[in-house]
């Protein structure tokens, strides 16, 4: 039975598989069993996949389907911060900054220091912290031939720094306040009406700085004494020339006289 079945080829499983795969022609069916071909057999799925791959075009050295390039996903922009007061709107250039010019200093008289009506600067050793001062009952007035601008003459003693009381300034109320203890104290100075006064040994008061006072250097102080003695005469100018007094010092001396 087995031999006849094999001879007929009807019960051969290999033949049945070849018929399913379409590899046996009608002639082969009529002619009966034929010996199997010497090639590997595969299932229908592998054969169909092999035909699809064979028909697909290929490019040497490159993948048939390159992966799509990755694109970065857009990130949400952070919320805009509120603009500071006075700042330029977003998208517009900032307004140019105009540098502020410093305040011009108050010009001083050449050869000396102009009167300081507001007590803008402080004398040496002053702190600016005022406190009540004790009374000085025996305080003496400043020397007139050293500190009164209208009483200085060509024979007055000169120093490197000379503070004079300008014409029309009355310091007697200041002296009375110092004597009665109504002045203020700032370091070694007594302060009355914005004017600073020092005190020598023996209770002699001298002006230091403040409104109605003017500080002269040595040359300007000497020019003031010559002008007070000789006036604005040619003789006075000749003496100033011989003494080497500069024009700036002469202008400071005339300013102290009120000219």
CB 14 within 8 A of CB 36: yes
One domain for residues 138 and 251: yes
What confidence tens digit (pLDDT) does each residue in 232-255 have? 899 999 999 999 999 999 999 999
Q: Is residue 109 part of a domain?
A: no
- Rg of the chain taking only CA atoms, in angstroms: 59
Does 209 fall in a domain?
yes
**pLDDT reading at 72 higher than 50:** yes
Nearest to 176 by CA among 132, 133, 213, 141: 141
- d(C-alpha 179, C-alpha 193), whole Å: 15
Backbone angles phi, psi at 204, to 5 degrees: -85, 120
Q: C-alpha dihedral over 4, 5, 9, 13, to 10 degrees?
A: -150
Prediction pTM value = 0.54
Domain presence at residue 117: no
Is residue 110 a part of any domain in this protein? no
Residue 49 forms part of a structural domain: yes
Domain annotation covers residue 215: yes
Q: Give 185's strand partners.
A: 131, 190
Higher per-residue pLDDT: 212 or 104: 212
Which tens digits make up the pLDDT trace of 156-170?
Answer: 988 999 999 999 999
38 and 141 share a domain? Answer: no
Number of domains the chain is built from: 2
How far CA 60 is from CA of 66, 152, 163, 220, in Å, comes to 13, 116, 106, 105
Within-domain flag for 244: yes
One domain for residues 50 and 138: no
Residue 237 sits in which domain range? 134-256
- Which of 212, 228, 197, 214 lies closest to 161 in space, CA to CA? 214
């Amino acid at each position: 039975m087995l031999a006849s079945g094999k001879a007929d080829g009807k019960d051969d499983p290999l033949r049945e598989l070849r018929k399913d795969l379409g590899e046996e022609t009608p002639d082969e069916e009529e002619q009966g069993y034929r010996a199997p071909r010497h090639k590997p057999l595969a299932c229908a799925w592998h054969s169909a996949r092999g035909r699809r791959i064979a028909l697909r075009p290929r490019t040497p050295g490159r993948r048939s389907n390159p992966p799509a390039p990755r694109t970065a996903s857009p990130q949400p922009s952070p919320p805009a911060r509120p603009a500071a007061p006075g700042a330029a709107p977003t998208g517009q250039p900032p307004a140019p900054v105009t540098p502020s010019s410093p305040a011009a200093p108050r010009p001083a008289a050449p050869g000396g220091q102009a009167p300081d009506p507001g007590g803008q600067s402080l004398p040496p050793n002053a702190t600016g912290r005022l406190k009540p001062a004790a009374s000085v009952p025996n305080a003496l007035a400043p020397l007139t031939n050293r500190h009164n601008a209208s009483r200085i003459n060509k024979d007055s003693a000169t120093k490197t720094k000379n503070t004079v009381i300008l014409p029309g300034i009355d310091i007697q109320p200041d002296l009375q306040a110092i004597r009665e203890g109504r002045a203020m104290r700032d370091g070694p100075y007594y302060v009355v009406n914005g004017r600073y006064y020092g005190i020598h040994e023996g209770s002699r008061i001298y002006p230091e700085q403040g409104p109605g006072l003017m500080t002269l250097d040595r040359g300007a102080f000497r020019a003031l004494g010559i002008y007070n003695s000789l006036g604005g005469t040619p003789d006075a100018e000749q003496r100033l020339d011989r003494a080497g007094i500069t024009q700036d010092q002469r202008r400071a001396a005339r300013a102290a006289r009120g000219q």
